[in-house]
Structure 1
Amino acid sequence: MHRVYNFSAGPAVLPEEVLREAADEMLDYQGTGMSVMEMSHRSAAFDEIIKTAEQDLRDLMGIPDNYKVLFLQGGASQQFAAVPMNLMKNGVADYIVTGQWAKKAYQEAQKYGKAVKVASSEDETFSYIPDCSDLPIDDDADYVYICENNTIYGTKYKKLPNTKGKTLVADVSSCFLSEPVDVTKYGVIYGGVQKNVGPAGVVIAIIREDLIPEKPAVENTPTMLAWKTQADADSLYNTPPCYGIYICGKVFKWLKKMGGLEEMQ
């Protein structure tokens, strides 16, 4: 079999070992007589898949107990709307724009409140990360938003911004599970899995529990975009992307077997 070298940012290469395991289980997952693609998301077999995947991710990242792990749909781009819809209680948020994805998130947030661009590197085609040590953070800002790694431009934060006590929200799609991370430095950390972890269609959102509002900050937020809807249902409010979660779970186990995020770094 000829396997190409794939340097795409995403969908990107998956471990061959994982693909072979999935191929072996394609028609019959562990004696269930069906593929994971065919089984109910309410079944005992899938319940074990998603719970094991979550625990392995918690082990890999050292995710504290007071953070929820949500396996969602819509990719990272859907969180561009979900973040302000859930968090913009004061109607203000600060954005650091260092690439196309941060720019899109900033533009989306403008639909739901006052999104403030407190720093940007657009003046030099996003070729650098601006100084974030003393930003003009708004007193009323509900959060500070970054895209931590920018594949198009090859830039990455070496040091997280000084948010002056405000909640940090980070899109980490491009560097997800590539290095150890201190989750406690973030209020929300999320990423589409297709660059490093699994097939397109899954976004994993890790959210500190006190930031999940009883009611979204923005009126008329769709039920599916309310984090509490998903958190209360353990990511099973509707049929989740079951097969994608299953592949992610296998990659988590592979990462642990390889030595974890320190080895990936």
Structure 2
Amino acid sequence: MTKRAYNFNAGPAALPLEVLQQAQEQLVDYEGAGMSIMEMSHRGEIYEKVHNEAISLLRELYEIPANYKVLLLQGGASTQFAMIPMNLLKSGQVGSYVMTGSWADKAIKEAKLIGETAVAATSEADKFNRIPNISDIQIPANSAYLHVTSNETIEGTQYKQFPVTNEVPLIADMSSDIMSKPIDVSKFGMIYAGAQKNLGPSGVTIVIAREDLVSESPKSIPTMLRYDTHVKNNSLYNTPPSFSVYLANLMLKWVQAKGGAAAIEQYNRDKTKLIYDTIDQSGGFYRGFADTDSRSVMNITFRIQTEELEKQFVKESEQHGFVGLKGHRSVGGLRASTYNAVPLESCKALAEFMSDFQKRNG
């Protein structure tokens, strides 16, 4: 095998080599069945075991309370942007959102198509380089829920603590930091996440929801967009993204083998510290975009003194085996996504490359 790339893609993102190798070994013949998991009926005993094991592992790793449902859905987090207000936003209520950047904006735009919305707090005046202070969040009394985006992949900001919403359900899009640290699920009404950054390939979306919120959906919603459809059928109403679920199951086993969410959190902090330290000790050659108190442990966004140097940085990094370091087109600059499966060695290599680039161009 040729050398693995230093993969800093923002999603789909790096997967552990050992997970990929196990999938490779089982691709043609899954556990002696004479066929791939991709070829099996989703109604069959073999696939259902994989499906249920993924749900069970999520419950175990996050200590999910018994009154919460775990769903494995399709359509990505972007479909959840619409499903949430369709199912939960009733007449006379507002869907409240904390506006933190690109993904929060997409969620709000979808909700506006369905019902009344309110912005409970925003950091737009600071170009979304920070998460609003918890004390600045004003939740309207008639809120159906408060929605937050726990980690903004494009701006590189992340919540360090979540608001206490009392009777208003707190809903979090955790697409880019799910299972990267321990979470008290009981503080949320719903957590949802596309798997393609931290928990597997694209294709499966994880929804963890309090039972009372998803057990009865409005009858006017199309069948596939009703949470209760999927609750009543254990996410098997239609053909699930079976191979994506299988790989997510392998990823959850990998997290478990690493010591669980707490061990993964420390590993992630050790990785990103290498890169943030390089930025902070560069004397201004590199400039972090996110406010220090809001820095993401998943997506490190930074700039160099000129756009020409940034282009040169990307070009040279690619020549050295680095992938995905160009910032999102909407904000520019540079970005290193350091999700769960990005190895410590890749972050060490990037820190060394950054230091060398500065010596040659500073």
TM range (shorter): over 0.9
* Aligned equivalent of 1:259: 259
Which structure 1 residue ranges, 4+ long, deviate > 4 Å from structure 2?
none
Structure 2 distance, partners of 1:84, 1:92, is 9
Q: CA deviation at 1:164?
A: 4.3
Aligned twin of 1:133: 135
Q: How does 1:233-248 map to 2 (within 5 A)?
A: 233-248=233-248
Q: Provide Cα deviations, 1:28-47, integer angstroms capped at 9, x if missing partner.
A: 10011110111000000001
Q: Do 1:134 and 1:162's aligned partners in 2 also have CA atoms closer than 8 Å?
A: no
Amino acid at match of 2:189: G
Could you list the per-position Cα deviations for residues 50-94 of structure 1 after superposition, in whole angstroms to 9, with x for gaps in the alignment? Answer: 111111111111111111000000000100000001111244111
1:229 aligns with 2:229: yes
Task: State the 1:201 CA deviation.
Answer: 1.2
AA in 2 matched with 1:22: A
SS in 2 for 1:94: strand
Whether the aligned pair in 1 keeps the contact of 2:98 and 2:137 (CA below 8 Å) is no
Q: Map of 1:57-96 to 2, 5 A cutoff? A: 57-90=58-91, 91-96=93-98
Unaligned 5+ residue runs, structure 1? none
Select which of 96, 99, 104 maps to 1:97. 99
TM-score when normalising by structure 2 = 0.71
The answer (yes or no) to whether the contact 1:80–1:109 under 8 Å persists in 2 is yes
Question: Residue 8 of structure 1 aligns to a residue in which SS?
Answer: coil
Count of residues in correspondence between the two structures? 263
Task: State the shift of 1:162 in Å.
Answer: 3.3
| 2:173 matched residue in structure 1 | 171
Identical-residue share of aligned pairs (%)? 49
- 2: CA distance, partners of 1:69 / 1:190: 10
Superposed, which structure 2 residues align to 1:38-57 within 5 Å? 38-57=39-58
* Kept in 2: contact 1:133–1:162 (CA 8 A): no
Alignment pair present for 1:149 and 2:166: no
Larger radius of gyration: 2
Q: Which runs of 5+ in 2 are unaligned?
A: 266-362
Deviations, residues 83-133 of structure 1 (Å, cap 9, x unaligned): 001111244111101011111100110111111011111222110111222
| Larger displacement relative to structure 2 (200-209 or 150-159) | 150-159
2:22 matched to which residue of 1?
Answer: 21
Q: TM-score, normalised by structure 1?
A: 0.96
- CA RMSD across the alignment: 1.1
Name the SS of the counterpart of 1:133 in structure 2.
helix
Report if aligned partners of 1:18, 1:254 keep a CA contact under 8 Å in 2: yes
Distance 1:52 1:71 in 2: 12
User: Pick from 184, 187, 195: which aligns with 1:185?
Assistant: 187
* Bigger RCO (CA 8 Å, 6+ sep): 1
Q: 2-side partners of 1:224 and 1:46: how far apart?
A: 21
